[in-house]
Chain A
């Protein structure tokens, strides 16, 4: 997976608002789109934003042959400034960065110690913005018909439902307030599905991205059911290229950099206490 990382000014092809708080930004880069793997991210320099220095790490959402999409939530002045960038303008972007999801069947350890025997059920668990990199993954593994569980606080925060369905995924929605799909937490749904389908367990494999408490719960559930899980961590980063050692997470082998060894980790590597 070691490929050259690029830094350049890339032309914005489109910047489409999605609801009030989200936008999908498309930039032209045949190089990044060819090299990027699901779970990898780019570091975007945000121009015209007084006093904000650091780049923003944003997961690759999808790629076409020439361009690359990122899905962004407006959470502060930097992402707001980014939401105002228009087609034709340029952005200083570094990427693709980090280690993404392992999804080649050959690369995945057999669940519960037994071989998959040809059939394999990926379960994608997304919390809020966690859908962004997981959609890219779903594109790459659509032949395996992933089961997609999306959770968020409320309906307006449920993203990409249609897009996942278009890929042929079976999608289940959960919201905290019940305004879309069933009421509750996505991790409760995961637990329920696994408990009710014991046949599913033996061939399942979990991919998750979302807030830390959710990932912690996913990790526990995957362990309880003996299913492997890869989780993508989000962390504040200063450099994104492994130099500053600012974004470390505690693992069974000591601190590891989320930007370099991650952002995707095997859930069992992570020391979840305190996270």
Chain B
């Protein structure tokens, strides 16, 4: 029987379009008590850098209206540590693994990381996190179309894996950046990363985060994210992985109707570890109820009046 929920991200086939977003699912082991990990469409790991990173000082998160700020600062064991300590358990799960990679100040490191990952059979794809707002940088790679093009092009040269470029919402025109990634050979784009925000404790007259600002996520950003997916969908042919405050099936459908081929669950994993699994059954039900034989048909099927 044909699987109604299967989708393709380039040549990568997913059994369903629901994945979990980088940085919100640890290395999956944290969730094994709550869900059957095998059911997930794909797992995107916490971002890995070449060298281990301690991350930012505490407090690193705070709750905001319908969302939260985080400034974790890409704490991770580095690629070597990841391969030794985390990958063995991850690859046993049997779900496509997407490894998120980043570099604070040297785009060449992304090339080195991608080359290393290219040799690992169990890695399905790399996600280029060129849009993390929590590095002490004035400008992110994904805030410039030319830089995005250059980085993706260099990574493309060294890997046969699927490349997913993760985009920042903090740009004038996100579709321009998506186009740059596409023309440089990215197989897909994922959006959105978080929006920088600031939360203040007025009694202490201090920021609630040690690093002053952090990335906003959760339902508060969802309409912004859906709009951006819709804008990018008009301009690129490669698949879009949509994310930003998805809490339930209805939210996931919004992204797909706006143009996403797949969706990623982020902040909701913190609130309800079962969110992704619940959405997978929710999408199945929606397809049945609406007589949809393939969920692919939903992508970009938004009906606008004009």
Contact = CB atoms under 8 A, between A and B. Distances in A.
Interface string A52-95: 11110000000000000000000000000000000000001010
Interface in A220-262: 235-250, 254-255
A53 B219 CA distance: 9
A242 B61 contact: no
A150 to B, nearest CB: 26
B33 A5 contact: yes
B63 A53 contact: yes
Interface in B228-276: 267, 269-274
Contacts of B72: 244-246
Contacts of B62: 236
Interface string A112-142: 0000000000000000000000000000000
Given A54-B63, A94-B273, A243-B269, A7 B68 contact: no
A7 B274 contact: yes
Contacts of B67: 53
Interface residues on B, range: 20 to 34
B58 A53 contact: no
Nearest to B218: A53
Where chain B touches its partner, the secondary structure class is loop
B55 A4 contact: no
B266 to A, nearest CB: 10
Nearest to B268: A53
Given A51-B65, A51-B66, A53-B219, A243 B25 contact: yes
Contacts of A242: 26, 30
A45 interface: yes
A115 to B, nearest CB: 37
Contact of A236 (B54, B59, B218): B59
A254 B54 CA distance: 7
Contact of B271 (A45, A250, A254): A45
Nearest to A54: B63
Interface residues of A, number: 30
B272 A45 contact: yes
B33 A238 contact: no
A243 B60 contact: no
Contacts of A94: 34, 273
Most chain B CB neighbours (cut-off 10 Å) among A45, A235, A239, A249:
A239
B294 interface: no
Interface string B264-290: 000101111110000000000000000
Contacts of B57: 250
Most chain B CB neighbours (cut-off 10 Å) among A45, A241, A245:
A245
B138 to A, nearest CB: 25
A237 B30 CA distance: 15
B26 A249 contact: no
A229 to B, nearest CB: 21
7 contacts: A7-B272, A53-B267, A53-B271, A54-B68, A238-B267, A241-B30, A242-B26
Interface of B: 23-26, 30-31, 33-34, 46, 54-55, 57-63, 65-68, 70, 72, 75, 218-219, 267, 269-274
